[in-house]
Amino acid sequence: PGEQDDVACTVSSLAEFGHLRGTVTLPSGRRVVCGCLAIREDDGTDWLAFYLPVGALSRVDAKIGGFPFGQDGGTVSLEWRCTLDNWLAAVGADIFQEVPFRLGLIGFELSGETRAEQLDGHAPEERWEGYLLPAGGRLRFDPANR
């Protein structure tokens, strides 16, 4: 990133470049690489993806280990995921204040297969990922519990 021109993370930058890459400071104070891209579906839903590569996260926090595989996956990972997911949920809440959305997902390698209309405003009881859902003009966060 130090050898590239700085580009602001804005809607117009996403429209122009399609995929933005950079660094971000985590709640721990450590910096990691990140990326952001807009996915526009023809006659479908638009998605905004902000991601942190697991390999980059594991270099700054040994607790991440080999997540999501083996003993580093599943509920044991909730210990470190909770802080990170809450931070990402706060980022989602800030976005929601500017551009209301119907569904936000926080988790590992999420695809566009989950749709807001499938949920009817309610996250599943057992969740591998966190759900950001609007309720009464506010955004509710239901964190991962698996």
Q: How far apart are CA 90 and CA 77, in angstroms?
A: 20
DSSP letters of 5-40?
-----SHHHHHHHSEEEEEEE-TTS-EEEEEEEEEE
Q: For residue 10, what pLDDT is reported?
A: 84
**pLDDT for 42-88, tens place per residue?**
877 788 899 999 999 999 999 999 999 888 888 899 999 999 999 99
Q: For residue 98, what pLDDT is reported?
A: 87
**pLDDT for 90-104, tens place per residue?**
999 999 998 899 999
> Average pLDDT, whole number, for the chain?
90
Domain boundaries defined on the chain = 11-142
**pTM for the predicted model, two decimal places:** 0.89
Above 90 in pLDDT, residue 5? no
Q: How far apart are CA 94 and CA 139, in angstroms?
A: 10
